[in-house]
Amino acid sequence: MKLPGSTEWLLHCAASLAQLKAGDTASAAQLAQYFDLPAAYLAKQLQALVKAGVLAATTGPRGGFRLARPASEITLLHVVEAVDGASSPYECREIRRQGRGALPAEDCRTPCVLAVKMAEAHRAWRDSLAATSLADIVATLPPSAPSRTRLRLTGTP
Amino acid sequence: MKLPGSTEWLLHCAASLAQLKAGDTASAAQLAQYFDLPAAYLAKQLQALVKAGVLAATTGPRGGFRLARPASEITLLHVVEAVDGASSPYECREIRRQGRGALPAEDCRTPCVLAVKMAEAHRAWRDSLAATSLADIVATLPPSAPSRTRLRLTGTP
């Protein structure tokens, strides 16, 4: 059970964009240099966050990426599921209905209890990630961090 | 983020073995027939549960698999991590230390807050699975289920 390696990239990119001033943007090239990441692949991943409504992309000479809504309204779950999708890591193929032990249809009207418990665990994981916003993350940083981030990311503190 | 497809197999096998009478066993071939699964691959997976201390394997003409300890002391987490390992789905490669935005070493004495939050979510998932034992699963079944399971799995109710 592995999340894509780019999950770390996108969490950090989103947390960095959360430190920009309202209306400012950073390009894929700037984000790639900031974290020393492969620019083309990062750009593709950033587009996934745009598609998911986490980031907004602007075009033009000063174009780039910014958060699509306030940092307090974007959770870690939004970012992680933009990268990896929202499906459960556990797949129930209903093996209870097959083989010598196959249960009759009337015993399968409710979901398999094992699938239910696996879904509960996935919900606990999702709830945990949904409880932290990008604003919460920025609030844990030293007070001097955002201006340093802005200077190194965009050249303007 | 996907668990192996065999996770469902092993959860069902463990829950079925939890319905046997004390001292009884079921072979890999019996479990494979019970769920209509590929016997050789299932046997390999069952050995992973033996290695993890979830199942015990006995040899000889009446040999097979049984739970290694009481069903109340084997949780869904034990089974799932025997199949897939216990590592977190999120990998932190410390990209905060690289590129133009690289943080100085003194700012990295504590773990990255994003890694901490991802670890909290993984802990919530693990805690959820650890809260349900195989005995809990069996307790949700109709009273007639265990003798039916035993009859179809081993030939003896």
Find, among B79, B28, B20, the residue nearest to B57 by Cα. B28
What's the angle, vertex CA A46, arms to CA A126 and CA A70, rounded to 5? Answer: 60
Which residue in B3, B100, B140 is closest to A89 by CB distance? Answer: B3
What's the angle, vertex CA A80, arms to CA B119 and CA B90, rounded to 5? Answer: 35
What pLDDT is stored for residue A13 in this prediction? 98
Q: What residues of chain B lie within 8 A of the CB of A71, using their CB?
A: none
Which residue of chain B is at minimal alpha-carbon distance from A37? B99
What pLDDT is stored for residue B81 in this prediction? 97
Q: Do B36 and A95 touch (CB under 8 A)?
A: yes
Chain A: give the shortest CA distance to residue B139, in Å. 11
What pLDDT is stored for residue B41 in this prediction? 93
**Sole residue written with tokens 């993984």:** B122
- The residue type found at B8 is E
Q: Say yes or no: A96 contacts chain B, CB-CB below 8 A.
A: yes
Percent of chain B with pLDDT over 70: 100
Residue of A19, A20, A114 to mutate when probing chain B, most B C-beta within 10 A: A114
Residuewise pLDDT in 10s, chain A (157 residues): 899 999 999 999 999 999 999 989 999 999 999 999 999 999 999 999 999 999 999 987 777 999 999 999 999 999 999 999 999 999 999 999 999 999 988 888 999 999 999 999 999 999 999 999 999 999 999 999 999 999 999 998 8
Residue A99 near residue B33, CB atoms below 8 Å:
yes
pLDDT band at B63 (very low <50, low <70, confident <90, very high): confident
pLDDT band at B107 (very low <50, low <70, confident <90, very high): confident
The ipTM assigned to this model is 0.95
Q: Do A3 and B8 touch (CB under 8 A)?
A: no
Measured distance CA(B13)–CA(B34) in Å, rounded: 9
Those residues with Cβ within 8 angstroms of residue A113's Cβ, 6 or more apart along the chain or in another chain? B137, B140, B141
Compute how many other C-beta atoms are within 10 angstroms of the C-beta atom of residue A111: 11
Q: What residues of chain B lie within 8 A of the CB of A137, using their CB?
A: 113-114, 117
Q: Say yes or no: B76 contacts chain A, CB-CB below 8 A.
A: yes
Name the average pLDDT for chain B.
95
pTM confidence score = 0.94
Helix (H) or strand (E) holding A126: helix A113-130
Q: Do A1 and B84 touch (CB under 8 A)?
A: yes
Which residue of chain A is at minimal alpha-carbon distance from B145? A103
Q: Do A137 and B113 touch (CB under 8 A)?
A: yes
Measured distance CA(B22)–CA(B15) in Å, rounded: 14
What are phi and psi for residue A7, nearest 5 degrees?
A: -55, -45
